[in-house]
Amino acid sequence: MGTKVLVTGAGGFIGHHLISYLKRSGYWVRGVDVKYPEYAPSVADEFVLLDLRRIENCLQATENIEEVYALAADMGGMGFISEHHAQILRDNSLINIHSLEAARQNGAKRYLYCSSACVYPEYRQTEIDVTPLREEDAYPAQPQDAYGWEKLITERLCRHYREDYGLETRIVRFHNIFGPLGTWQGGREKAPAALCRKVAVAKLTGSHEIEIWGDGEQTRSFCYIDDCVAGMHKLMRSDYREPLNLGQDRLVTINQLADMIASIAGVRVMKRHVPGPQGVRGRNSDNTRLREVLGWEPQISLEEGLARTYRWIEHQVAATRAPSEHTSGT
Ligand code: NAD
């Protein structure tokens, strides 16, 4: 039997893909979440429904486990993160403090924590043409939202658990991960999925106007899910103990992202700019350290990743629409 691994947040987007990757790589995997994956069954050897805010559940989850990938979090896109500060800070603190402590008590050897580009200070992200963020730029700290503050505190806790208790911790800071089998509607979806959905609806209804939050000139980089899970595994296997960016370093505006998706869909869309949460003005990943540490960086182009994601979301949108709606405008 391969190394026994726990993936928390196994019912979520990245956790689900990570389990498929780890199974292909020969691991024995236990998945834990408060819900099963929404869009495809998990290939985990065991899948247990547990609320990881409670220490006794974390102890059950980490029993006989050698390595933990800690992904469980109460999270979503800007719309969700900017509206639920208390809930996010409370739930994610409980999940992470208890998961780490339970891993220690049960003798786990390695623990990879999923942090976020949201830890970076607001004052470094005020321009569209932003300087890419290096890992050391996280301090002096001033994340925009409670979500980022909690990530910073757990990064710190991981460091102290390594120093004080010898648990080998790894910390990855994701920059906008996207791909198929992720949330695409309901309020927690992120920009790539939301835009794919809006374009697909526009295509299927023939009403070619889509809404964009703000002026659409805010910038980000986006990383495809297959690169994300490959990078996580490489980091877990490496000796590198400090926080590490994992993302693409190609900066695009949200308007450009919408145009790329429309072009993949083969439709022309009119963008209507409406008030809405936009997050920081610009954010990009500096991948210098990622290349140095892992001898690798994400491979899949934004165009290719978006094409795969759009095809899946268009299929979801078509499948959830009433039969009579399918005919209009197509
Ligand atoms: P997701 O929301 O799809 O997955 C998170 C999972 O955690 C969900 O399935 C949710 O049910 C589960 N969860 C929430 N509360 C729980 C609890 N009390 N007990 C057990 N499980 C619980 O999100 P994702 O995109 O897969 O993100 C995974 C991790 O990566 C998260 O920690 C997130 O903060 C981090 N991250 C993601 C991105 C991104 O672009 N997707 C960017 C930065 C950081």
Going residue by residue through the chain, which has 330 residues, state the pLDDT in tens, using 9 for 90 and above: 799 999 999 999 999 999 999 999 999 999 999 999 999 999 999 999 999 999 999 999 999 999 999 999 999 888 899 999 999 999 999 999 999 999 999 999 999 999 999 999 999 999 999 999 999 999 999 999 999 999 999 999 999 999 999 999 999 999 999 999 999 999 999 999 999 999 999 999 999 899 999 999 999 999 999 999 999 999 999 999 999 999 999 999 999 999 999 999 999 999 999 998 888 999 999 999 999 999 999 999 999 999 999 999 999 999 998 654 443 322
Q: What is the DSSP-derived secondary structure letter of residue 84?
A: -
pLDDT confidence of residue 278? 87
- With a 6 A CB cut-off, is 53 part of the ligand 1 pocket? yes
- With a 6 A CB cut-off, is 48 part of the ligand 1 pocket? no
- With a 6 A CB cut-off, is 13 part of the ligand 1 pocket? yes
The answer to whether 246 and 235 are in contact (CB under 8 A) is yes
Which of the listed residues 14, 229, 280 should we mutate to test ligand 1's pocket, taking the one with most ligand atoms within 8 A of CB?
A: 14
Q: In what order do the strands lie in the sheet with 67-70?
A: 46-49, 28-33, 4-8, 67-70, 110-116, 168-174, 243-246
Domains observed in the chain: 4-177+225-246 (3.40.50.720), 178-220+249-282+300-325 (3.90.25.10)
pLDDT confidence of residue 328? 31
Q: State the catalytic residues.
A: 147
**Beta strand segments in 86-194, E:** 110-116, 168-174, 177-178
